[in-house]
């Protein structure tokens, strides 16, 4: 991955031994995806999508719960 204004295009090919290393436009490291335009940027949309999916999965299981139970759950999850 190459980042910065001085990056030339196309980038020269690289290899380690007989294995070629390909250039990529993004790199996933831990939970975030790093996008590589002319500056370093972290794509948080993937993290937001996974967070909302997890919340919706939990809340869908609580759809038949009473209002006090829902309020207690939401209050405990906000800390």
Reply yes or no: is the peptide bond before residue 10 cis, omega within 30 of 0: yes
- pLDDT value of position 22: 80
Which position has the higher pLDDT, 10 or 70?
70
- Return the pLDDT at 2: 64
33-73: pLDDT as tens digits = 556 556 666 777 877 888 889 888 888 888 888 888 888 88
Asked whether the predicted pLDDT for residue 3 surpasses 70, the reply is no
Separation CA 16–CA 3 (nearest Å): 21
C-alpha Rg value of the chain to the nearest Å = 21
Residues 68-79: b if buried by 16+ CB within 10 A, e if exposed = eeeeeeeeeeee
Q: What is the pLDDT of residues 17-30, one digit of tens each?
A: 999 888 777 666 66
Judge whether residue 79 has pLDDT over 60: no
DSSP three-state, residue 77? helix
């Amino acid at each position: 991955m190459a980042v910065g204004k001085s990056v030339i295009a196309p980038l020269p090919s690289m290899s380690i031994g007989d294995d070629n290393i390909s250039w990529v436009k993004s790199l996933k490291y831990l939970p975030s995806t790093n996008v590589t335009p002319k500056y370093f940027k972290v794509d948080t949309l993937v993290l937001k999508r996974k967070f909302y999916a997890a919340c919706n999965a939990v809340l869908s299981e609580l759809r038949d719960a009473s209002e006090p139970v829902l309020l207690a759950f939401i209050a405990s999850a906000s800390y």
